[in-house]
Amino acid sequence: MSKPVVLIAEELSPATLEALGPDFETRSCNGADRGELLEAIKDVDAILVRSATKVDAEAIAAAKNLKVIARAGVGLDNVDVPAATQAGVMVVNAPTSNIVSAAELAIALLLSVARKIPAAHGSLKAGEWKRSKFTGAELFEKTVGVVGLGRIGVLVAQRLSGFGMKVLAYDPYVQAGRAAQIGARLVPLDELLAEADFITIHLPKTPETVGLIGEEALRKVKPSVRIVNAARGGIIDEKALYDAIVDGRVAGAGIDVWAKEPTTDSPLMTLEQVVGVPHLGASTDEAQERAGIAVAKSVRLALAGELVPDAVNVQGGVIAEDVRPGIPLTEKLGRILSGLTGAVPQSLDVEIRGEIAEQDVRVLELAALRGLFADVVEEAVTYVNAPVLAKERGLETRLVTERTSPDYRNLVTLRATAADGTQTSVSGTLTGPKQVEKIVAVDGLDVEVVPTDHMLFLRYEDRPGMVGVIGKHLGEAGVNIAGMQVARAAQGGEALVALTVDSAVPAKVLEGIVSEIGATSGRVVDLD
């Protein structure tokens, strides 16, 4: 069997290939060369890029086997995420790989602007000794305004506190208590602009943040303020910043990111008060190595069809630690439900009850779909294409959450409804300190079964001798029973028996059992 093909479209650290390991065929191309990229991407399973390769809808359409796009870095400006999602292609990045490097660069720019280091360096190299010309400003006991308290903003705030600075912060999505934990006081943007001696930007680029620091904002700052942008180009209006510096309304700026990149002719670079660098936030050996290793691990998981925590088009947020153990359980419940119904239902309800319902549990809906289709379709089912498969088959899904759970701390129930209205359900939970997986109900009948590789579910009229008949048939076939649970709603009514066995149950053996006990249904579920 041929190995999955991984295309390396840009230069990555050697540690990236080491992290991929020997299980893949790796190829290389110049991703910045459009023609070369479109030819090279045709038959690959994954592509690893940095910032120079544009993986747009055209490239994704050309890649018939593509399953994952991995960006060895934080930003995804060069990847068409909606087109990838539509095609069932997972997009991953390395969201924490460069946070230390970016934070340190922001501080380096801030210090460089405050102490006029680049200009002084240039003067000295030119043979000048003009100390008085380069008198700067201290950070100690000054006020810094941190605009954006994400991962990088927090690191910057913590480090600048060590300089003895008073830290103000603006972030509409952060609570005041969280800011206080890192020694920052959360304030409105206007207050930050008016009080800060230094301002450093750490926001994502969105329609709301583009031009946020523009003409109006720059008329509210102190004339002694120094501004740093090491986040995303365009958040600061570059023309407005140029005008403010020329007019003496802003003392200086440090810029790592630009509205248009690459750029070498920005008017800002004509000003001695500006320190500009060519987007170096992630440009450290350590950050590149972390990014390469992180996305290589993600590619391994993605091509194995496993959950990738850093997938940006799968679940929409960090998966809570309390939710993670429920993912494999929910997948198993999906496979069991598929085995019990024997067909793709018309609708599927994923019901989450208990403490975890307070978390973002959308990933459990994806896990249920992945399990439901795992034994139904020929192609590998992933957390990206599972919703696509559901849509193609007209399966409507609904996620239901309820914080109260009368019988269990947490309970996951999958409820399938067929076209004729028939419902089938299976419920599971995790028990004890070791979080043991257990099936606790089938169609509302209570059982307690640890899911194993081979299971058998039978429905029949409750009467004496049935368990013996089942045991006889399995024994004659050499199938050992590992566990058995019998459930019934009432004596003499319909009974359900759930068995875990050590090996697969042959179809003829199942037919014999169903025939002799008069079972209304008999289903084998194999999870191996």
CATH code: domain of residue 468: 3.30.70.260
Confidence category of residue 379, pLDDT binned at 50, 70, 90? low
Do residue 181 and residue 117 come from a single domain? yes
Against a cut of 0.75, is the pTM above it? no
Express each pLDDT in 53-111 by its tens digit: 999 999 999 999 999 999 998 778 899 988 888 787 889 988 888 899 999 999 999 99
Give the whole-number percent of the chain exceeding pLDDT 70: 98
C-alpha 522: how far from its chain's center?
A: 39
Answer whether 167's CB lies under 8 Å from 110's CB.
Answer: no
Amino acid at 507: A
- Kindly state the average pLDDT of the residues 233-239: 96
- Kindly state the average pLDDT of the residues 415-439: 93
Residue 312 within a domain: no
Element (H, E) at 449: strand 445-449
Residue 417 within a domain: yes
279 included as an active-site residue: yes
**What mean pLDDT is reported for the chain?**
91
Three-state secondary-structure class, residue 437:
strand
Three-state secondary-structure class, residue 385:
helix
**How far, in Å, CA of 462 to CA of 318, rounded?**
48
Q: For the chain, how many structural domains are there in total?
A: 4
pLDDT at 306: 72
Concatenated DSSP letters of 273-294: TEEE-SS-TT-SHHHHHHHHHH
Residue located via tokens 């090996």: 503
- Kindly state the average pLDDT of the residues 390-399: 90
User: If we measure between CA atoms, which residue out of 438, 442, 410, 411 comes closest to residue 425?
Assistant: 442
Answer whether 333's CB lies under 8 Å from 109's CB.
Answer: no
Express each pLDDT in 437-463 by its tens digit: 999 999 999 999 999 999 999 999 988
Residue 478 domain boundaries: 452-528
Do residue 263 and residue 403 come from a single domain? no
Do residue 151 and residue 10 come from a single domain? no
Do residue 119 and residue 258 come from a single domain? yes
pLDDT at 482: 92
Answer whether 296's CB lies under 8 Å from 19's CB.
Answer: yes
Residue 350 within a domain: yes
Task: Give me the residues paired with residue 28 across strands.
Answer: 8
CATH code: domain of residue 380: 3.30.1330.90
Q: Cα-flanking dihedrals φ and ψ of residue 170, to 5°? A: -125, 125
**How far, in Å, CA of 88 to CA of 314, rounded?**
10
Three-state secondary-structure class, residue 297:
helix
Concatenated DSSP letters of 53-74: --B-HHHHHH-TT--EEEESSS
Do residue 89 and residue 133 come from a single domain? no
Residue 309 within a domain: no
Do residue 354 and residue 484 come from a single domain? no
pLDDT at 316: 47
Q: Cα-flanking dihedrals φ and ψ of residue 61, to 5°? A: -65, -30
Cβ-based burial of 493 (10 A; exposed 0-12, middle 13-18, buried ≥19): exposed
The catalytically annotated residue of 232, 335, 362, 459 is 232
pLDDT at 381: 78
More confident residue, 485 or 271: 271
Answer whether 293's CB lies under 8 Å from 19's CB.
Answer: yes
CA angle 260, 262, 264 (to 5 degrees): 95
**How far, in Å, CA of 50 to CA of 33, rounded?**
14
End-to-end CA distance of the chain: 20
Domain boundary among 428, 445, 462: 445
The catalytically annotated residue of 279, 300, 353, 370 is 279
Do residue 216 and residue 246 come from a single domain? yes
Do residue 332 and residue 260 come from a single domain? no
Express each pLDDT in 280-336 by its tens digit: 998 899 998 998 999 999 999 888 867 787 788 775 455 778 888 899 999 999 999
Do residue 441 and residue 525 come from a single domain? no
226 included as an active-site residue: no
pLDDT over threshold 60, residue 235: yes
Count of Cβ atoms closer than 10 Å to residue 524 Cβ? 18
Domain boundary among 394, 424, 445: 445
- Kindly state the average pLDDT of the residues 360-373: 91
**How far, in Å, CA of 79 to CA of 81, rounded?**
6
Lowest model confidence (mean pLDDT) among 82-91, 178-187, 254-263, 333-342: 82-91
- Kindly state the average pLDDT of the residues 200-226: 94
Do residue 138 and residue 266 come from a single domain? yes
pLDDT at 380: 66
CATH code: domain of residue 85: 3.40.50.720
Do residue 51 and residue 106 come from a single domain? no
Rounded alpha-carbon distances, angstroms, from residue 354 to 412, 436, 465: 9, 17, 39
Do residue 122 and residue 269 come from a single domain? yes
Residue 308 within a domain: no
pLDDT at 1: 60
Q: Cα-flanking dihedrals φ and ψ of residue 84, to 5°? A: -65, -45
232 included as an active-site residue: yes
Residue ranges in 75-175 assigned as alpha helix (H) = 81-86, 99-115, 117-125, 151-161
Domain boundary among 401, 429, 445: 445
Residue 316 per-residue DSSP state: S
Report the sign of the C-alpha dihedral through residues 77, 83, 86, 92, in that order.
negative
More confident residue, 344 or 286: 286
